[in-house]
Amino acid sequence: MKGKVLLSLLVIALAGTLIAGAMGAWFTDDADVPTAEFTAGTVFVDADGPEYSTVEGKSFENVNPGDCGRVAWTIINEGTKDAELRVKLEGIWDDEELPADNFYYAPAEGSGWVLYPDEDGLWLYYTGGPVPGTFSGVTEEERTVELLLVVAFHGEDTGDEYQGKQFRLGGIVEAVQASNDAPAEVWGEAFTTATAPGYEPEGLDEYLEYITGTKCWKGDEEPEPPEQDE
């Protein structure tokens, strides 16, 4: 009886070995999965300038109350990504006790820029974007935007205390990738509003009336003296 039991156990053990051996006999192989590579794009802008222009007989090195002119900067998209642009400028006299609110500026007509006022002051948004990046294969000229401003020193508000003082205007240009709704995410409703067709800045009527009323707004020369009746 014991022999039969041992024989049965031996048969079961051999069967298990055969099954295990059969399972291990399948052909197998493996191979490396080639690495996928993703290169992040870049957002990078550069600005050159400024360049000045005034009406004949005027100079920004010898400013009078009521004078006006034009100032231009060149902004180049040097990054790979298409980008949207905005600019924040700050003006200050070298005597910081003198108010700077006698200096007016606005983007020239047809320049593609608009003014947008908020609690931080005035922003300039570029409405002709997105500006192509280098990855698009376009020329540098096509990646270049001119920021052209008409500027003026208010006649009544620029009194004797400003004589001999120097005014400085500078700031920062900001760029954000144009894709995936990034401008609206980063700059909020301001971008959507400022770049919408037919946009007009609110609360700047008097400010814009002054700057658009200067002879420099349309690039005019000094007005001709009125004709005298004979």
pLDDT digits (tens, 9 = 90+) for 88-133: 999 999 999 999 999 999 999 999 999 999 998 999 999 999 999 9
3-state secondary structure of 156: coil
- DSSP E strands in the chain: the ranges are 45-54, 68-77, 83-93, 103-107, 113-118, 121-126, 144-153, 167-177
Q: What is the model's pLDDT at position 130?
A: 97
Confidence category of residue 229, pLDDT binned at 50, 70, 90 = very low
User: 177-181, 190-194, 214-218: which has the minimum mean pLDDT?
Assistant: 214-218
User: 4-13, 147-156, 159-168, 217-226: which has the minimum mean pLDDT?
Assistant: 4-13
> Is the confidence at residue 225, as pLDDT, over 50?
no
> Is the confidence at residue 230, as pLDDT, over 50?
no
* Cα distance between residue 101 and residue 172, in whole Å: 19
CB under 8 Å to 42, separation ≥6 — which residues? 79, 80, 81, 133
Share of the chain above pLDDT 70, in %: 84
Q: 2.60.40, 1.10.8, 3.30.1360, 3.40.50: which CATH number matches 45-212?
A: 2.60.40
Confidence category of residue 1, pLDDT binned at 50, 70, 90 = low
* Cα distance between residue 123 and residue 86, in whole Å: 7
Nearest Cα neighbor of 67 from 226, 225, 224, 211 is 211
Neighbour-count burial for 14-46, b at 16+ CB within 10 Å, e otherwise: eeeeeeeeeeeeeeeeeeeeeeeeeeeeebebe
* Cα distance between residue 113 and residue 194, in whole Å: 9
Q: What is the model's pLDDT at position 226?
A: 38
Q: What is the model's pLDDT at position 34?
A: 85
Mean pLDDT score of the chain, rounded to an integer? 86
Domain ranges of the chain: 45-212
* Cα distance between residue 198 and residue 204, in whole Å: 16
Segment 27-58, tens digit of pLDDT: 888 989 888 888 888 888 999 989 998 878 88
Q: Is the pTM here over 0.85, yes or no?
A: no
Mean of pLDDT values over 66-95? 95
